[in-house]
Structure 1
Amino acid sequence: MNKKNYVAVATLAFAMLTSCAGQKEAKSTSGIDLANMDTTVSAGTDFFRYACGGWNDAHPLTAEYSRYGTFDELFENSQKQLRELIEGLAAQKNNQAGSAAQKIGDLYNMAMDSVTLNKQGAEPVKAMLDKIAGMKDKSEIVPMMTEMAHIGIGTYFHSYVYADPKNSSLNIFQMGQGGINLGEKEYYLDTDSITQNIREQYKLYIGKLFQLAGFSEADAQQKVADVMELETAIAKVSRSATELRDPEANYHKMSFDELKKTIAGIDWDAYMKGLGIQAPAELNVEQVEPIQEVARLMNTLPLSKHVSYLEYNLLDAAASCLSDDFVAARFDFYGKVLSGRQVNQPRWKRAVNSVNGMLGELVGEMYVEKYFPAAAKERMVKLVKNLQTALGERIDAQEWMSDSTKIRAHEKLATFHVKVGYPDKWKDYSKLEIKNDSYWANVCRASEWGFNDMYSRIGKPVDKDEWLMTPQTVNAYYNPSTNEICFPAAILQPPFFNMEADDAANYGAIGVVIGHEMTHGFDDQGRQFDKDGNLTDWWAPGDADRFKERAQVMVDFFNKIEVLPGLQANGELTLGENLADHGGLNVAYLAFQNATKDAPLGVVDGFTPEQRFFLAYATLWAGNIRDEQIRVYTKSDPHSLGKWRVNGALPHIQAWYDAFHITPSDPLYVAPENRVNVW
């Protein structure tokens, strides 16, 4: 599917669906596996290699992966557990119609049925392809666009329903840029040889899809040109990933009448009718210029070009759900060219991921029942409270922040909505039908179920108890609109959280994760939202300027990092996540000191508790990655690469210098006056 979640949340890392193993009876260990280390490298030369070299050597990249790290290891191990759960339902005969077992089992079986998928070929999308090709007038573009939106296919721009950034208790209709399937504008505009090659390979992919769908080579080539013309035009006026990080600059609330005047040339009445909603009294247009450009394109380009564009969006969205030749074509571009992967995942993994993606909380209920221990949640809740106390102490210690701002910061910290493990109320999938017609048809029904669920919320209060990740997701997030921090059950397992380990490892790992998410409430984006989740300036005069001055040190530091020959890291794009790592480390270290001051831990395996704290942190980011994937992440990911979340973060933490006796002669040494000092 080409469906995206446009709610802005700050995550710990890359979202992954997984489940965790059950915990054994608690007993204290160091939590540090010495085999993960490479002590032939000194800590002050390359701490990433020092802490993670053994793990990286033991986990070389296989053909299936473009990046493989600790997140991926948990994901892979847990996929096998989910497979057992899902295949158990899929193997059952006569599951009750409409039951969770029937929906999960039938969807999985259809995703696995390669014989039927290959027999059907492009047939599941033929009716819609014909409908698009049968358009006779430009007035049909908007209705077709909205019809496709119902089934999860993005086109010219996107719309969604979520909290008004400046009135966070109310859900409103919102729109923003979209329409470019390569995701980032730079892929269409940069002129370096690598990006130019990606564009040429993208054109080949577009043409391949059209030919697989039955178009002649000549027609396919014309349609390639049409698609590239439209996507390039939209890309030219779209905002970059860095520009999208400014919440104030991406907020334009207006009335429906103002929308018609601001972006003329689109039939907005037809658009709302197509979505199946009443025209909203007020709405938020995140980025105006890209949608104005869409209006221009709709009115100036011939209908035939729009037909090509809509057809391609359908084929691209459906390709992974059709016959093997479509799946291979899509993987050859997105998997091989963009990410450097050599082979696609086996079908069972793709099927598990698909079921997880469409029926996430149904699978989540099964997962929680079988794998999540109550003791893990209890210990996690205690850790969160300890981290909140430590962050409060860190706020008080900041000399650059005025007392009035500190008071409001404490108010925000005290009102954090903490979610651990799984939701108290599960989503109701009763209205979603899984039928035995085609895999793609069920993907469309699942998308429409999600569409209807979202649009039913217009004008209604925001449900602050809703989860934006499933329990089986190995990740964590902070959501500024609800001022919430969320730690799904699946992250509560080693190396992040170890019920058998002592506090040194747990505060260095899950403690930093907690502190990371808390700090997001006060990073360059999160600090612009108040305790109620409203986008508003709550800082005293001068404090914001002092914050920006200190944050710029982080930007400049990361901008100087060369991630590949000739390719620099993007300090502006990664600022929020880098600040969250910085704050998370400082806050978790203080919380660790507080927790152990009355009963200090001893040396284990030759490492002090302080050293084990930082080794546990570094282990979270162990991993190998292909050059192609480094380029993708550098263009689009707000997270720094794993290596630099270690070697770029720790040189700004004085406690790390003290723990490992780092001196000015060490390559990672940064002079105190050049270090980041924010939280």
Structure 2
Amino acid sequence: MTIRFNAKAGIATALMIGSAVCTAQTKDARQEKPGINLFYMDKKVKPSDDFFRYVNGKWVDETEIPSDKTRWGSFDELRETTNNDALAILKEAAANKSLKSSSDQGKAANLYRTIMDTVARNKAGITPLKPYLTKINAVKDVKSLQALLTEMEPEGGLGFMGAGVGVDAKDSNRHVVSVGPGSLGLPDRDYYVSDDADSKEKREKYVLHVAKMLKFLGYKDKEAGEQAKKILALETAMAQPRLDRVERRDRRKSYNPMTVAELQKLMPSFDWNKYFTGIGFKKVDTVIVTQPKDMTALDGLLKQNKVEDWKAYMRWTLLNKSTGLLSTDIETANWDFYSKTLRGALKEESRDKNALQTINGT
């Protein structure tokens, strides 16, 4: 599904209060001047009949959504312009051989060159993942699982849950540790639990996609399909207790401060003091648990001790997070499901833009 989203609708408010300023992009010189853009208005429409159409009608009629995008509006135009500027800076840095690899610029340039070197990526295949896959294969119980999750958290984690440090939402003078749900392969909870036909179809296609991707790790067809179904089942169990889309809008529901001892009671299968120390968080006095029900449910899943299911989920999570750095056939397969099937994109973004997104962490 594609969305033509016109953020210029905000001009409606600007026309009423006379204080907003926007800049539109077009080759027409009339559009290069800052200020309220009247060119995109459809003055044939009475504002009393359809004010949105009155303000944005011409823009809606004449604007094409780029084939590598699934939505388009003035904020998307702004992001595109910013990305193009950032990409120009990045390419200049990548061409500068005098940058030290230890510098921030050097690290960004090296990563960019690595992503753009498709010959080396295709030759390497999944080789960069093998050390991590070996560690996943060695997991045999909750204790070894915790050790691996602790080790991998600074590198982006392997799902289940995540921890970070940020400004306290109720006291901007201090920073606090927060703990929340880990990653899932589908965008959010509703994809797993909704019973409508579209959601069911997307889950079926997701299983096929996961099976296809697992074959890059060496799974045969039958085993890949079986593992994909187990992964969906585990992710569904992880998704069910989470807040839905509406509940997540209420920030009060995700602000649940507690001591480490209280968190330990909430999820006793995990040694939280050891975990926090292992990821570099020392002397933690308060933890903001964003979704306590998720922690309780996760504790139940750990007590079931389905080690092979955990490992299948972590292999998939590892692969899914790494697609933009592996061979181009893996990268394209990832795009085919997430961008084309789920979001309706018609064309892959250029590789240099994908590289920029990876470097930006977006």
Q: Retained in 2: the 8 A contact 1:38–1:51?
A: yes
Partners in 1 of 2:33 and 2:117 — Cα distance?
Answer: 46
Matched residue type, 1:255: T
Is residue 231 of structure 2 the alignment partner of residue 236 of structure 1? no
Q: 1:311 corresponds to which residue?
A: 315
Q: 1:82 corresponds to which residue?
A: 86
Q: CA deviation at 1:96?
A: 3.2
Partners in 1 of 2:49 and 2:140 — Cα distance?
Answer: 66
Aligned positions of 1:568-607 closer than 5 A = none
Q: Deviations over 1:108-136 (max 9, x none)?
A: 21121111111111111111012101223
Aligned positions of 1:190-589 closer than 5 A = 190-278=194-282, 280-357=284-361
Q: 1:112 corresponds to which residue?
A: 116
Q: 1:176 corresponds to which residue?
A: 180
Superposition CA RMSD, Å: 2.5
Q: CA deviation at 1:265?
A: 2.1
Partners in 2 of 1:253 and 1:77 — Cα distance?
Answer: 40
Q: 1:65 corresponds to which residue?
A: 69
Shift in alpha-carbon separation, 1:86–1:282, aligned structure 2, 3 A: closer
Q: 1:121 corresponds to which residue?
A: 125
Residue aligned with 2:100, SS = coil
Residue aligned with 1:248, SS = helix
Q: Retained in 2: the 8 A contact 1:179–1:234?
A: no
* Unmatched 5+ stretches in structure 1: 1-11, 13-19, 22-27, 359-679
Q: CA deviation at 1:177?
A: 2.7
Shift in alpha-carbon separation, 1:276–1:77, aligned structure 2, 3 A: closer
Is residue 47 of structure 2 the alignment partner of residue 56 of structure 1? no
Q: Deviations over 1:609-649 (max 9, x none)?
A: xxxxxxxxxxxxxxxxxxxxxxxxxxxxxxxxxxxxxxxxx
Residue aligned with 1:176, SS = strand
Residue aligned with 1:43, SS = coil
Q: Deviations over 1:23-45 (max 9, x none)?
A: xxxxx968344431223332223
Q: CA deviation at 1:253?
A: 2.3
Q: 1:103 corresponds to which residue?
A: 107
Using CA pairs below 8 Å that are at least 6 residues apart, which structure has the higher relative contact order?
1
Q: CA deviation at 1:197?
A: 1.0
Matched residue type, 2:163: S
Shift in alpha-carbon separation, 1:282–1:78, aligned structure 2, 3 A: closer
Q: CA deviation at 1:320?
A: 1.9
TM-score norm. by structure 2 comes to 0.84
Larger radius of gyration: 1
Q: 1:46 corresponds to which residue?
A: 50
Q: CA deviation at 1:166?
A: 4.0
Q: CA deviation at 1:66?
A: 0.5
Matched residue type, 2:255: Y
Partners in 2 of 1:137 and 1:30 — Cα distance?
Answer: 62
Residue aligned with 1:293, SS = helix
Aligned residues: 334
Residue aligned with 1:67, SS = coil
Partners in 2 of 1:30 and 1:92 — Cα distance?
Answer: 36
Q: Which moved more, 1:193-202 or 1:54-63?
A: 54-63
Residue aligned with 1:38, SS = coil
TM-score norm. by structure 1 comes to 0.46
Percent of paired sites with the same residue: 30
* Unmatched 5+ stretches in structure 2: 1-9, 11-23, 26-31
Q: Deviations over 1:307-329 (max 9, x none)?
A: 11111111111112211111112
Q: Retained in 2: the 8 A contact 1:142–1:270?
A: no
Q: Deviations over 1:446-477 (max 9, x none)?
A: xxxxxxxxxxxxxxxxxxxxxxxxxxxxxxxx
